[in-house]
Chains A and B, each alone.
Chain A
């Protein structure tokens, strides 16, 4: 038993060494901090609505993403929040090339990768990976954990020579906090939180620079969510990752994000730093969204004002003219129906200086601050 224990210790040391090397090589090839690593401009995705069985004709389009632009900087986390149907998941699929955009461009380190295919696309995929929402359907139940995490190396054999793969897989398991000896187990032998760790390990395997995480913790138990969020934060520091973190849970997005974009009906309506969005929101939708999030504290809850929105989100196949939010907005006027507000620093705050909290893009003609939306901030 002694011999086994010490050999395990040695193996452990080796893993730690390997991890140090890995982290170092990451630092070396990292892109200068602060520069946008990913630039998305005017991204549009329309899904055609068709009729007919054999001969299909288009009768309309669902405007899932309708002109979205943002930058992602090296090492930062950009949170994208919105309600179901706002197009945030489609944005994730467009960035990861799981869907082809109808229009717009995606640039990675300055290179247009929007229509990359073949070899170029494969290279893009190495650098932009995805973590999925549902840890149950995102792992193939017929494959062992080792095969799942090793699959990236099968597809990109240049990343790891065949002989190294098992060691690499075990190292990845260790990185995400799972026992490296579990390579031969099947996904169903793990809990939801552990499965999500496996999904993250698979995403990390090719050492991407960008990870797009689509609701990575929303399917997990409350007590496990924090573990996975902490893990993602640690991996970001360790590997210099940039995250696009997509979620409907505004509290978690605030926790993990440096900057946040709020989406409504296929468009970004407000973008800013975490403080700008959560403490100084100027778009009515952001304010309503934030005010609706319950705070687990009855006393703080009592001090907040709740904005209850009327009605439902309109169909993305037939969005309202002008400002998409106007049908539910308490500030809506004639101008909102006629003129679409651009995503820019609003007129009201044209005098504000860069660096002031209200000086951030907000797509509203009548943008204004509103008190007591989130409640007093504790730190």
Chain B
């Protein structure tokens, strides 16, 4: 049994300029102890997918128009509001990009951590505070006992992100969704936070969904990757295979277009054009206007997710050519 199984998820956004198909038939699965990276650019629908799973999508303007989100054998979309709320926080938790705005600035971090135990577990004030200190030590915040009474702004960016992680971990959830957890951090701190997250995940045998736009960050920690483009998954693969031999031209384009630390200059290969407008995705394959391999069929027929191997899939009509080419 999967920990989380998302099937054919559809999310729309109603704006003054029309209806945007933010998520358009997404399938995802995460097992306990597994890390799934969802990779995409802005507007690819990766964050909306995460918010839909977590049940924190702004509705309106958002609307889930189809699909199911099965978590521990229960479809979250059909669950009564009350039960859904109990799952959130206790069974699945989320880590946001901007820790400063996700924490309440007028309450001490100790109070905010302790609140989790007091609300969900009915712990006494003293117990809750002790647990808060323990949590802060667990996420390796130095001098936790002294700092438990500090306010969020008194911590550095990396430390605040650790506090966010501590809050997410507080009730020992089975699934953590991290939405760009290290994007706002400096590289040296990024590495610390990613390592911490990976260690804790192993320790608690949690499922982890890592939402990111950074191909570098996921290479090290993810088990498998789902690449999203214009509200769809265009490729899924185990992480090593994806980097070695991408099966979708978009993935290949991304990998080719980013300069690498271990590569010297020269012209960068670019993906032409720009990400699509979700109100008017092109007919056929959404990537066709930017794709170097596009042919007539790509402008007409939307490619299904072809099975490449037992663990891989690609939404490209010509995925086989991707492998022939090398």
Task: Report whether chain A binds chain B.
Answer: yes
Interface residues of A (CB under 8 A from B): 83-84, 191, 193-194, 221-227, 229-230, 233, 248, 250-252, 254-256, 274, 278, 288-290, 292-301, 306, 308-309, 311-313, 374-379
* Binding site secondary structure of chain A: helix
On B, residues with C-beta under 8 Å from A are 41-42, 142, 156-159, 186-192, 195, 213-217, 219-220, 239-240, 243-244, 253-255, 257-272, 274-275, 290
Known contacts A255-B268, A311-B142, A375-B261; 14 further A-B pairs (Cβ under 8 A): A194-B274, A221-B213, A223-B41, A223-B290, A226-B257, A226-B269, A230-B270, A254-B263, A255-B263, A294-B190, A295-B219, A312-B156, A377-B263, A378-B262
The 8 Å CB contact of A308, one of B159, B195, B216, B267, is B195
User: Once the chains bind, are A308 and B240 in contact (CB under 8 Å)?
Assistant: no
- From A194, A311, A374, residue with most partner B Cβ within 10 Å: A311
CB <8 Å contact, A293 and B187 = yes
Chain A hits for B195, CB < 8 A: 308
Q: A230-B270, A306-B191 are in contact. Are A299 and B240 (CB under 8 A)?
A: yes
Q: Are A256 and B258 in contact (CB under 8 A)?
A: no
B100 to chain A, nearest CB (A): 13
Instruction: Please determine whether B262 and A227 come into contact, CB atoms closer than 8 angstroms.
Output: no
Interface pair A308/B191, CB less than 8 Å apart: yes
Known: A255-B268, A312-B158, A374-B261. A222 touches B187 (CB 8 A): no
> In the complex the two chains form, is A375's CB within 8 Å of B219's CB?
no
A292 touching B271 by the CB < 8 A rule? no
Contact A84-B186, Cβ < 8 Å, known A222-B41, A222-B258: yes
In Å, the complex CA distance between A223 and B249 comes to: 12
How many angstroms between the C-alpha atoms of A57 and B222 in the bound complex? 52
Q: Are B257 and A293 in contact (CB under 8 A)?
A: no
The 7 closest A-B pairs by CB, nearest first: A294-B216, A255-B259, A83-B186, A296-B215, A226-B257, A226-B268, A223-B271
User: Quick check: A224 and B239 within 8 Å, CB to CB?
Assistant: no
Q: What are 28 A-B contacts with C-beta separation under 8 Å? A: A84-B157, A191-B274, A194-B274, A221-B213, A221-B274, A222-B258, A224-B275, A225-B257, A225-B258, A226-B271, A255-B259, A255-B263, A256-B265, A292-B190, A293-B261, A294-B216, A295-B219, A296-B260, A298-B219, A298-B239, A301-B220, A308-B191, A308-B192, A312-B156, A313-B156, A374-B261, A377-B264, A378-B260
The CA of A224 and the CA of B254, in the complex, are separated in Å by: 10
A193 and B274 in contact, given A230-B267, A379-B263 (Cβ under 8 angstroms): yes
Residues of B within 8 A of A293 (CB): 187, 216, 261
Least Cβ–Cβ distance between A318 and chain B, in angstroms = 14
Separation of A289 and B191 alpha carbons in the complex (Å): 10
Chain A residues lying within 8 Å of B254, measured Cβ to Cβ, are 222-223
Please measure, in the bound complex, the distance between the C-alpha atom of A196 and the C-alpha atom of B272, giving whole angstroms: 16
Contact B270 A227 (CB under 8 A): yes
Residues from chain A with a CB closer than 8 A to the CB of B217 are 294
Of all chain A residues, which has the CB nearest B155?
Answer: A312
Given contacts A296-B260, A297-B243, contact A221 B187 (CB under 8 A): no
> Would you call A248 and B216 a contact (CB within 8 A)?
no
A-chain residues with CB within 8 Å of residue B157 when the two chains form the complex: 84
User: Which chain B residue lies CB-closest to A191?
Assistant: B274
Given that A255-B265, A289-B188, A298-B243 are contacting pairs, would A226 and B258 also be in contact in the complex, using a CB cutoff of 8 Å? yes
Q: In the bound complex, what is the Cα–Cα distance between A41 and B257 (angstroms)?
A: 37
When the two chains form their complex, are residues A375 and B262 in contact, meaning their CB atoms are under 8 A apart?
A: yes
Which B residue's beta carbon lies closest to that of A285?
B188
B188, B217, B259, B261 pick with most chain A CB within 10 angstroms: B261
A251 near B259: Cβ-Cβ < 8 Å? yes
Interchain CA distance A294-B214 in the complex, whole Å: 9
Q: Known contacts A84-B186, A194-B274; is A221 also within 8 Å of B41 by CB? A: yes
Distance in Å from the Cβ of B186 to the closest Cβ of chain A? 4
- Report A226 CB to chain B, min CB distance, Å: 4
Select the residue from B158, B219, B254, B290 with max chain A CB neighbours within 10 A: B219
Nearest CB of chain A from residue B91's CB, rounded to whole Å:
30
Whole-angstrom CA separation of A254 from B265 in the bound complex: 7
- Give A221 to B213 CA distance when docked, in angstroms: 8
Whether A376 contacts B262 in the complex (CB less than 8 A), given A221-B41, A230-B267, comes out as yes
Contacts of B264 in A (CB 8 A): 254-255, 274, 377, 379
Please tell me if the beta carbons of B190 and A233 are within 8 angstroms of each other in the complex. no
Q: A289-B188, A374-B262 are in contact. Are A222 and B213 (CB under 8 A)?
A: yes
C-alpha spacing A312/B290, complex, angstroms: 42
- What are the residues of chain B within 8 A of A288 when measuring CB–CB? 188
Of B159, B213, B268, the residue contacting A312 (CB under 8 A) is: B159
Q: How far is the CB of A194 from chain B (nearest CB, A)?
A: 7
CB distance from A370 to the nearest CB of B (A): 15
- Name the CB-closest residue of A to B277: A191
Tell me, in angstroms, the Cα distance from A317 to B22 when the chains sit together: 45
For A296, what are the chain B residues with a Cβ–Cβ distance below 8 Å? 215-216, 219, 243, 255, 258, 260
User: CB-CB < 8 A to B156: which residues of A?
Assistant: 312-313
Q: Are B188 and A309 in contact (CB under 8 A)?
A: yes
List B contacts of A300 (CB < 8 A): 262
Instruction: Determine how close the nearest CB of chain A comes to the CB of B264; give it in whole angstroms.
Output: 5
CA distance A221 to B42 in the complex (A): 7
Question: Which residue on chain B has the smallest CB distance to residue A82?
Answer: B186
Q: Please tell me which one of the listed residues B192, B244, B261 contacts residue A290 in the complex, with CB atoms under 8 A apart.
A: B261
A223: B residues at CB distance < 8 A: 41, 253-254, 257, 270-271, 274-275, 290
Residue in A254, A274, A290 whose Cβ sees the most chain B Cβ within 10 Å: A254
Q: Are A295 and B260 in contact (CB under 8 A)?
A: yes
Instruction: Quote the shortest CB–CB distance from A255 to chain B (angstroms).
Output: 4
Contact of B187 among A229, A233, A289, A375 (CB under 8 A): A289
Looking at the assembled complex, report how far the CB atom of A373 sits from the nearest CB atom of chain B, in whole angstroms: 9
- Residues of B within 8 Å of A84, CB to CB, are 157, 186
Q: In the assembly, what is the distance between CA of A311 and CA of B195, in Å?
A: 14
Contacts of A226 in B (CB 8 A): 257-259, 268-271
